Structure 1
Amino acid sequence: MFRKLFFLLLLFFSQTAFSQQNLTLSQCEEVFVKNNLALLAEQYNIDIAKANVIQAKIWELPYASGELNAINPPNKRVLDIGGQGQKALAVQQLLYLGKKKKNEVEFAKSTIIIAELQFEQLLKNLRFQLRQSFYNSFFEQQKISNINKQIANVDTLVKVYSQQAQKGNWPLRDVVRLQSLSFNLKNEFLAVQKSINDEQETLKIMTSSREGINPVVDDLALNNYFLKNNLPVADALLNMALENNPDYLSFLKIIESNVLMLKWQKSLSTPDLTLGVSYDQRGGAFGNQVNLTFGVPLPLWNRNKGNIKIAEAELEKTKRLKEQKITELKSQIENSYLTWSQKQEKYTQIIQSGTENFEVVYKGILQNFQKQNISLLEFTDFMESYNQSTLQLIEMRKQLILSGESINHIVNVNLF
């Protein structure tokens, strides 16, 4: 029953593979940048910030008012607005004082840079997630390939020795042991395939693609990770991050923006001036009177003190968050650098010990077991050890690359 279920799943995964598209990492990133819905939505924040600048530049519209005679009792006339009647007109314009309109525009402009940096930060985070899923999928497929090869060999042995056991030429318990080895391999296959399915789901969502993505990786690109031994020290990496990390740079721009906000709020405490011109046909001191009007609010109890204090508090808060971000970056870089150097050292030691002998020994053990030169116990013990060692080596390569990607992500510089 288990064998039938396994082959049905294997058939399903094989059919699914035909609907996959072969993409390199750069091709995958191109599709991601073009189609990712979160990125497309975030771009509108930049447009919103630019629109706020346009809105900030707009002055208040002139205000026009009028007064028309409704009833003239002495002459018993309605709407007497002719030459002997009465009408009054006025036009007023609000004039901003204290450079408050200029300060408002400068603050609005500062939000554009922040929106652009936030977009860059989202792009950086999503690209990091994409590259993680890409490499996870690639190395998990290598594990699948290795497990499939072993399953094919072991199932061939199970078939042969089952026939021999039926003829009484081979102990049935040995066949069961081989079947148990095959079951373990198939269980590992299903576990790894589940991991691939999860990564494929992530890649589809991030690229807005209906097809799966089969990662195509150049060996030379991998060697850039495996053979890298001249990575800058942690202090140099921190300096790179302070120059290039958009999350940190956004704090600097938010501080600048908050300074402009404080300046704007202080300028709002300056009263504005309303100027105007009015015409009165008969209601003034003399006929057809033209007047100059003006108005200034008296700053008795509203000097915008509350908003000024809010702006000051926001500025101080952002300064503290900037210092906190530096601490976070330093800690992240030190941890990522230590993780990468440890993995690099261990991987180099393993490679120098001669992993190329794995396949030679594997083929030799398989042939010797088929020739009955070694016992079943020796064969199964070796197969289990070989399988775990191979999978661990693939996992080590994957983790080494992901640790390098983590450093790239933090400093926002492609060091690998």
Structure 2
Amino acid sequence: MDHFRFIPLLRSCIVLGWLGMMSPLLAQPTVPASGAPSVADTIRQSLPQLEQLFLERNFQLLAQRYQIDIADAAITQAGLRPNPNLWFQGNLYNPQTHKVLAFGPPSQADKDAGIYNSGYYAVQLQQVILLAGKRSKLVALAESNKSLARLAFRDIMRTLHYQLYTTYANLYYDLQGLRLFEDELGRQQRLLESYRIALQSGGVAPYEVTRLEVAIRDLQANRANYQTQIADDQATLRVLLRQSAKSFIMPTELPLIRTTLPALAVALDSAQTNRPDIGLSQEQINNAERSLALEKARRTPDLTTGLLFEKYGNAYNNFTGFQLAMDLPVRNRNQGAIRSAETTLKSVTSGLENQQNIVQSDVLNAYDKLNTYYTQLAARPDGYLDRIQNISVEATKAYNARSIGLLDYLDKIRTYQQAQLNNINLLNNLFNTQQLLNYTTNTRFF
């Protein structure tokens, strides 16, 4: 290469190397330069702060709380006794006297003649009495329904809490990945500009410029992938928190990673004890038993009692009588509803064992995954992260000194990028799998 043509290229590379070494990868995420909201729209939130907003604002939690209140009102309603029934009958029109609403007392002459063209009315008061303990069974069933609503609330809380934590962690580490590619893209764009200048003077071959352009396109594609992932994370958090669409939630930090696993037996026992979906299966059995007891009680008809007073219309003028009424259970003994309730009980009883097996499988799966990531983290040698950082620095120095070519330089930079991404992904997977174990056991181990 001609000496005078080499000087501009060397000068550009030296400047590029200096710029590259002055902008190492930062550990903390910052707002991405591309497509980021304004500073006024950025909300910096720690995980505890975000969790508090989630408990106050999340629509699904609020809606499920209302379901508990509805179930509580149903208990009150189930405990109420039937209202008494008041019945009144009177004469609207008498065709013999052509009088309307003739409620005045008859004359003495009419009484003596046994004629009652006015003064007639009848009043009846009835009360239904529930037999076979129907009212207490209705209350018991309503109480079971409230327990189901509470367990459903706990299950929704567990699921949404897991989604909140994992989305926050994904956003935290996606921002780190985006920052990595932003830094590398800036570095290689500066290198490309210096090569284009050198190309004009014949200092480099055209294919080298093309090779750099391809590398930049790869970086831009990776940056776009992270930007779309961050957009998905933001969309999920906005729904969970009912946050304004214009705001950008910026994670600040994550809890320190703990590398101690609970004993497997403890995790399995915690899941069987604390998982609300197992509680739901158990309560569904209780609910089905109470429903069956109620349907069997409904085989017994209810008793209707009453008092009747009739003026001038019965065996004697002022008739007072009592009433008893009951349906005769000849054909309808609630057979269909009882059979349906029995079938439901069989179904939910078999579902409990299946749910217990699912829970056990979930815990074992999360436990095995967490063990895998712990092993991967423990196998990382001391000083590994420092040596990763040195790959980029040393490659830039060697390239500036012209001791390596462009292809070797790009290969080392790709190695540096992949090592950084592997570290980011490992930490993200480790945190999310810890949350998965919390989720599958419904216990805050981490």
What TM-score, normalized by structure 2, do the two folds share?
Answer: 0.85
Tell me if 1:123 matches 2:154. no
* 1:144 positional shift: 1.0
CA contact (8 A) 2:307 2:323 kept: yes
* 1:162 positional shift: 2.7
Structure 1 pair 97–351 and aligned structure 2 pair: CA distance change class (3 A): farther
1:203-242 → structure 2 map (5 Å cutoff): 203-210=237-244, 211-218=247-254, 221-224=255-258, 228-233=259-264, 235-242=265-272
* CA–CA separation in structure 2 for the residues paired with 1:344 and 1:208: 35
* CA–CA separation in structure 2 for the residues paired with 1:38 and 1:342: 34
- Residue 41 of structure 1: which of 38, 53, 63 is its match? 63
Q: Which has the larger radius of gyration?
A: 2
* CA–CA separation in structure 1 for the residues paired with 2:182 and 2:136: 69
Tell me if 1:103 matches 2:121. no
Aligned amino acid, residue 348 of structure 1: A
Counterpart of 2:290 in structure 1 is 260
* CA–CA separation in structure 2 for the residues paired with 1:76 and 1:194: 88
Aligned amino acid, residue 413 of structure 2: M
CA contact (8 A) 2:65 2:153 kept: yes
* CA–CA separation in structure 2 for the residues paired with 1:81 and 1:18: 82
More helix by proportion, 1 or 2?
1
* 1:414 positional shift: 1.1
Structure 1 pair 35–68 and aligned structure 2 pair: CA distance change class (3 A): same
* CA–CA separation in structure 1 for the residues paired with 2:418 and 2:96: 112
* 1:156 positional shift: 2.3
Structure 1 SS opposite 2:36: helix
CA offset digits 1:301-353 (Å, max 9, x no partner): 11112111111111111111111100101111111111111121012212547
Aligned amino acid, residue 152 of structure 1: G
Aligned amino acid, residue 287 of structure 1: N
* 1:375 positional shift: 2.0
1:17-416 → structure 2 map (5 Å cutoff): 19-70=41-92, 78-84=100-106, 85-210=119-244, 211-218=247-254, 221-224=255-258, 228-233=259-264, 235-352=265-382, 354-416=384-446
* CA–CA separation in structure 1 for the residues paired with 2:171 and 2:271: 28
Structure 2 SS opposite 1:247: helix
* CA–CA separation in structure 2 for the residues paired with 1:122 and 1:373: 60
Structure 1 pair 180–72 and aligned structure 2 pair: CA distance change class (3 A): closer
CA contact (8 A) 1:143 1:391 kept: yes
* CA–CA separation in structure 2 for the residues paired with 1:76 and 1:162: 116
Structure 1 pair 363–72 and aligned structure 2 pair: CA distance change class (3 A): closer
Structure 1 pair 351–304 and aligned structure 2 pair: CA distance change class (3 A): farther
Structure 1 pair 365–76 and aligned structure 2 pair: CA distance change class (3 A): closer
Structure 1 SS opposite 2:256: helix
Count residues in correspondence: 401
* CA–CA separation in structure 1 for the residues paired with 2:151 and 2:407: 61
* CA–CA separation in structure 2 for the residues paired with 1:103 and 1:245: 28
Q: Which runs of 5+ in 1 are unaligned?
A: 1-9
Structure 1 pair 176–75 and aligned structure 2 pair: CA distance change class (3 A): closer
What TM-score, normalized by structure 1, do the two folds share?
Answer: 0.91
* CA–CA separation in structure 1 for the residues paired with 2:96 and 2:409: 125
CA contact (8 A) 1:204 1:212 kept: no
Structure 2 SS opposite 1:415: coil
CA contact (8 A) 2:123 2:308 kept: yes
* 1:66 positional shift: 2.1
* CA–CA separation in structure 2 for the residues paired with 1:258 and 1:204: 39
* 1:49 positional shift: 0.9
* CA–CA separation in structure 1 for the residues paired with 2:129 and 2:350: 38
Deviates most, 326-335 or 374-383: 374-383
* 1:128 positional shift: 1.2
Structure 1 SS opposite 2:35: helix
Aligned amino acid, residue 129 of structure 1: Q
* 1:54 positional shift: 2.1
CA contact (8 A) 1:135 1:398 kept: yes
Q: Which runs of 5+ in 2 are unaligned?
A: 1-31, 107-118
* CA–CA separation in structure 1 for the residues paired with 2:256 and 2:198: 46
CA RMSD of aligned residues (A): 2.0
* CA–CA separation in structure 2 for the residues paired with 1:292 and 1:348: 87
* CA–CA separation in structure 2 for the residues paired with 1:95 and 1:36: 45
* CA–CA separation in structure 2 for the residues paired with 1:13 and 1:72: 89
* CA–CA separation in structure 1 for the residues paired with 2:101 and 2:202: 124
CA contact (8 A) 2:309 2:318 kept: yes
* 1:77 positional shift: 5.2
CA offset digits 1:67-92 (Å, max 9, x no partner): 22345577675544333332221111
* 1:288 positional shift: 1.1
CA contact (8 A) 1:203 1:212 kept: no
